[in-house]
Amino acid sequence: SSNRQSVFRIPKRKLAPFARQLISPLPVLEFVVATNALPLPHQGYAPALVRVFDRPDDGPPLMRPPRALLPFVAVRLRGASSTNPRYRQHPIRLEIRNGRQKPSPFDLCGFPPDDDFVLIANYMDRSLIRDRLVYELAAPLIPCTPRTRYVEVFIRQPSERLDETTYRGVYLAAEQIEGGPDRVPVGALAVVPSPEGLDGGGWLVERDRPGTNRPVFWVGNEPFMIVSPGATALSHAQADFIRTDFERLYRMIRENPRDDRLFELLDMDSFVNLMLLQELVKNRDAFLYSAYYHRSAGGRLVAGPPWDFNLTLGNGRGLGGPEGFILQHAPCAGDLLRNPRIFRLYQARWREWRQPGGALTDARICALVDGLVQELGPAAARHYARYPELLWPGYPIDFAVDYHVDTFDKNVRIVRDFLLRRARWLDGALAAMTGPADLFSAETDLVEAESRKSGRTWWDENRSPPLGGDSP
């Protein structure tokens, strides 16, 4: 692949009948690695060669030359609970490099060229559509929502064949959240004077469990990591400035949520839109994990981009059914909703999204679900053939709910029905509220408690129309 020394020798490719006959509407990625298992996040990266088959031609893609051959890719697993060794499909992070081991931007899956991408595993989501559906809903509403696309993946060692055993199923390719013109355009880190002292920007932070090699700081008992600028380009003084700059804004949200100066300091549209999205999909991790905030130099604090939705829409244990509010107990979001002015904006924005032609009408939700099923095509059946346990009623997956259904179609209908029923419940619940006090009342918590008791029993297969039919 180059005149430099190869990382490892790769014999001629061997395609089993499964690979020779595979016809897919999705891009197909072939990884060739020298290890039995990809390294965990704390173990660094392993070298890989990647072939990309995504030409829009008819016929088996693996029987044609790849669109691209990437000889210097660094790969590892990513995530926390999703790297559980009992799971047979794990999320992957890949960095595309050149022969000098420098970043080498590439237009993977039609995304703007970059060197850093994520393959999200669908193992914890039996429907295969939750993450992708939420990103599609978020894209027109929340700045910098990551672009995503389904792919099929093979991972093999140099001596192995492309067959049913090296096929790893359907993944969701996504842009890694990081600073950059085509990702999160925060610009360069800068410090500028302001009447209240030093002001800054050009940074991106994440609230999550501390990990990897990112600089960590705490605001009270809440951990945050600096995502951009990257750790290798960040001095201790710059890291301390980012902490100070973010902390003064975040503490105002937590300690003085009724202060109307928040409208001057925050990009309030981004906060309101992200809060509504998280409430709609009933994300138990909202504003706790994978919660991003960013700011360009001298600009307002922006909430987002959104990330990680595999345990939403009824899939997370303890979430219950489609009724009940959860966001009033979330850090940051629960604080902001105590501000009457923000709460009124929250209500008005929801009405706007749900009116005819809005971003979250029943018709758009159904069209997106049907479109994703059509996009997956035969790849969904191959995924379940690779992991048949996903359709075994009673098969346990940590954190995820098992509705005891045994087909892909039923798992998708559960997602669609949850989303529609929840949107309709929010229509009535938000319209009936006169102010923040209603959201924080004991009655609101009682509704959520009853919803949690319903568990997986809220869904009725006999009252669920088929996909592509009339709205349930």
Cβ-contact 182, 33 below 8 angstroms: no
Task: Mention every residue, 6+ apart, whose C-beta is less than 8 A from residue 472.
Answer: 416, 417, 420, 463, 464, 465
- Tell me the pTM: 0.94
Q: Is the pLDDT of residue 201 over 50?
A: yes
Over 90: is that where the pLDDT of 211 sits? no
When pLDDT is averaged across residues 121-146 and rounded to a whole number, the result is 96
Tokens of 189: 């880190």
Tokens of 394: 């009673």
Q: What share of the chain is helix, strand, coil (3-state, %, to 5)?
A: 35, 20, 45
- Tell me the C-alpha distance between 279 and 336, whole Å: 14
pLDDT at 402 over 60: yes
Percentage of the chain modeled with pLDDT above 90: 80
Q: How far is CA 50 from CA 28, 106, 246, 352, 465, in A?
A: 10, 12, 39, 45, 41
Q: 405 is written with which tokens? A: 């259904």
**How big is the CA angle at 356 (ends 350 and 360), to the nearest 5 degrees?**
45
Which tokens sit at 456? Answer: 């997986």
pLDDT in tens, 183-197: 999 999 987 766 665
Average pLDDT over residues 414-421: 98
Identify whether the C-beta of residue 421 lies closer than 8 Å to the C-beta of residue 415: no
Alpha helices, DSSP H, located in 127-234: 130-138
Structure-token pair, residue 395:
């098969």
Question: How far, in whole angstroms, is CA 108 from its chain's centroid?
Answer: 17
The band of 179, judged by pLDDT with boundaries at 50, 70 and 90, is very high
Q: Shortest CA distance to 118 belongs to which of 275, 290, 294, 301?
A: 290
Helical (H) or strand (E) element with 414:
helix 408-431
Please tell me whether residue 233 adopts helix, strand or coil conformation: helix
Asked whether 435 and 340 are in contact (CB, 8 A), the reply is yes
3-class SS of residue 53: strand
The strand order across the sheet containing 291-295 reads 216-219, 222-228, 203-207, 291-295, 302-303
| HSE-CB for 92 with a 13 A CA cutoff | 27
The candidate with the shortest Cα–Cα distance to 104, out of 69, 54, 56, 136, is 69
Instruction: Tell me what percent of the residues of the chain surpass a pLDDT of 70.
Output: 96
Residue 3 has pLDDT above 70, yes or no: no
Q: According to the model, what pLDDT value does residue 471 have?
A: 66
Mean pLDDT of 151-163: 95
pLDDT of residue 198: 57
| pLDDT of 310 over the 70 cut | yes
CA distances from 22 to 61, 96, 156, 164 (A): 7, 26, 17, 11
Run of H or E including 347: helix 340-354
For residues 306-316, average pLDDT: 95
Buried b (16+ CB within 10 A) or exposed e, 401-439: bbbebeebebbbbbbbbbbbbbbebbeebbeebeebeeb
Q: Are 268 and 281 in contact (CB under 8 A)?
A: no
Residue-wise pLDDT tens digits, 160-169: 999 999 999 9
Taking alpha carbons only, the member of 154, 155, 124 closest to residue 402 is 124
Q: What does the block give as tokens for 17?
A: 């009948």
Length of the chain: 472
Q: What are phi and psi of 104, to 5 degrees?
A: -135, 90
Q: Is the pLDDT of residue 6 over 60?
A: no
What are the φ/ψ torsions at residue 207 (nearest 5 degrees)? Answer: -90, 120
Residues with Cβ within 8 Å of residue 195, at least 6 apart in sequence: none
Tokens 């990266």, residue located: 45
Pure H helices in 192-267: 236-255, 262-265
Does 132 have pLDDT greater than 90? yes
How do residues 17-67 score in pLDDT, each as one tens digit?
Answer: 999 999 999 999 999 999 888 998 888 899 999 999 998 777 899 999 999
The pLDDT value recorded for residue 7 is 56
What sign results for the dihedral spanned by CA atoms 135, 137, 138, 144?
A: positive
The pLDDT of residue 212 is 67
pLDDT tops 90 at residue 2: no
Structure tokens at 61: 């893609």
DSSP 228: E
- How far apart CA 331 and CA 52 sit, in angstroms, is 42
pLDDT tier, 377 (very low <50, low <70, confident <90, very high otherwise) = very high
